[in-house]
Amino acid sequence: MNFLNTAATFVNAAIIQGIPLLYGATGEIITEKSGNLNLGIPGIMYVGGISGIIGAYLYEHSVETPAAFWCIVIPFFASLLGSALMALIYSFLTITLRANQNVTGLALTTFGIGVGNFFGGSLLSFFNESGSIAVITTGGYYKTKLPFADSLGLFGETFLSFGFLAYLAVIIAIVASWYLNHTRTGLNLRAVGENPATADAAGINVIRHKYLSTVIGGMIAGLGGLYFVMDYTCGAWTNNGFGDRGWLAIAIVIFALWRPRSAILSSFIFGGLYIICVYIPGLSSAAKELIKMLPYFVTIVVLVVTSLRKKREYQPPASLGLSYFREER
């Protein structure tokens, strides 16, 4: 029983860790399907988090008793807005100005973390307060469990004890998978990522698809940041608290072979690997760091295996990382 309880706690914790990764991975898959390799995802998730915090903070400070509805809605849309702006910067640079995608993405990550840390460090001083940011009321609303979760015993505690953002992540991944594989526009989007010249000749608006999927992908990824600050840390912000989760999300994209549905389980596995060192007793700190490396190691193994198998369906979108320019001769 004791072991079962520990296992259940571990699975629960793995899912909690996996949710931000799932948002990031789904967002990046949608982005990459349009041929844009957005390495700015870690920065976008970071900004998604701080935007939510700012929204919540401003709302909590402007009213006496914050209402649950607005506590949910304001940070939610603040987060979407922040990450959408970040993704727009990336889109404008890489799609319209055709800047190098890798360089732009990496710069965006640096920029996003800078923006997050700036507001994280100075938001309180704008209001002549001190200490650290904590929007506990909002965090509490975000953490609200399903009402019947507790009545379902261990199963409920393990799988149903999350805030609504956790379920939303899974729903978004499933919808994304369905969208890519079973809709006309999904087919068009995949064509843009595989062969933009062909898509263009087929009458598909390549530029629009690239912009839309990058921005929507960025907004989805930003929700991962929101989940982290509202649900996981319950509304408390610490600079650099998000860690390297953004890069893990990008690793999951490879691990899941660019399939949003596979990303669901992959995220939970990566979430588990991320924290498994806590559950193994008696590890030295060096061993812990080695174990934390596991997700990246697994990603490399997947890359090696899929490269060896050479199956076309397992490869990244063919034009990933390339700019598209129509009148090129």
Tokens at residue 82, please?
């922040």
CA distance 172 to 80: 14
Q: Which is nearer to other proteins, 188 or 262 (CB)?
A: 188
In this structure, what DSSP letter does residue 250 have? Answer: H
Closer to other proteins by CB, 203 or 282: give it: 203
Kindly list the residues in this chain that would bind other proteins in the complex (CB under 8 A): 182-184, 187-188, 190-191, 194-195, 197-204, 310, 312-313, 318, 326-327, 329
Q: Which is nearer to other proteins, 140 or 321 (CB)?
A: 321
DSSP summary character for residue 280 = S
User: Least distance to other proteins from the beta carbon of 231, Å?
Assistant: 36
The stretches of 63-194 forming alpha helices (DSSP H) are 68-91, 101-126, 136-143, 153-159, 164-182, 184-194
Cα(227)–Cα(327) distance, rounded to whole angstroms? 43
Nearest distance, CB of residue 175 and other proteins, angstroms = 15
State the virtual CA torsion across 181, 187, 192, 196 in degrees, nearest 10.
140
Cβ distance to other proteins smaller for residue 70 or 179: 179
Choice between 65 and 182, CB closer to other proteins: 182
